[in-house]
Amino acid sequence: MPFFFLREGKIKERQQNKTPISNLDLYPTLLDVAGIEKPETLHLDGENFLPLLIHGQSLSERPLFWHFPIYLQAVTDKNENRDPKFRTRPGSVVRYGDWKLHHYFEDGGIELYNLKNDIGERNDLAERKPKKTKELMKLLDDWRTKTDAPVPKTKNPEFVEEN
């Protein structure tokens, strides 16, 4: 998702940078902008990217994670994803460098994309790149274990399928 920032006299106008960041990076960055020291006891998943904006310093290469263990109903019939009924189904995603892996909890589905060559995520490479798929799946599994991310394992007994 694109971001833009304005800080007169601090951030060079109209500079572009393709470094991936996450909304989790906003909090530590805003702490720095406000001159507030992060408490030593506070663990933050995000990274302060103010040095990137002001001095052009690189951020450490790191995986970015998204975790969404619930359904999100569609708002239109023209979804471009796996299922027209839902905007998303329960799952997790990891992006590392140019690679992005989706893992869906419902059916165990795995999709792998090379964002450098396929920004629209149209060409699933999971079967053609098993080594990369396994590498990213391990990153994702390790992150879910470390963060104790909830992964649903049972179906909702009250669910009624609509025809």
pLDDT digits (tens, 9 = 90+) for 106-119: 889 999 999 999 99
CB within 8 Å of 112: residues ≥ 6 apart: 99, 100, 101, 102, 124, 125, 126, 129, 132, 133, 136
* CB neighbour class for 68 (10 Å; exposed up to 12, middle 13-18, buried from 19): middle
**What value does the mean pLDDT take over residues 21-42?**
88
- Are residues 118 and 79 both part of a single domain? yes
Compute φ and ψ for 9, nearest 5 degrees.
80, -5
Model confidence band, residue 148 (pLDDT cutoffs 50, 70, 90):
very high
Domain extent, residue 42, equals 1-60
- Are residues 52 and 73 both part of a single domain? no
- Are residues 127 and 87 both part of a single domain? yes
- Are residues 1 and 54 both part of a single domain? yes
How many domains is the chain built from?
2
Instruction: Provide the pLDDT for residue 112.
Output: 98
What is the CATH number for 131? 3.30.1120.10
Segment 48-101, tens digit of pLDDT: 988 888 888 888 889 999 998 876 666 655 555 555 655 567 899 999 999 999
- Check pLDDT > 80 for residue 15: no
Instruction: Provide the pLDDT for residue 1.
Output: 58
Return mean pLDDT, the chain: 85
Model confidence band, residue 38 (pLDDT cutoffs 50, 70, 90):
confident
- Are residues 42 and 108 both part of a single domain? no
- Are residues 45 and 68 both part of a single domain? no
DSSP, res 85: T
Residue 156 is assigned to a structural domain of this protein: no
User: Among residues 12, 42, 60, which one ends one of the domains?
Assistant: 60
- Are residues 110 and 77 both part of a single domain? yes
- Are residues 56 and 68 both part of a single domain? no
Is the full-model pTM beyond 0.95? no
What whole-number percentage of the chain has pLDDT above 70? 87
Higher pLDDT: 33 or 44? It is: 33
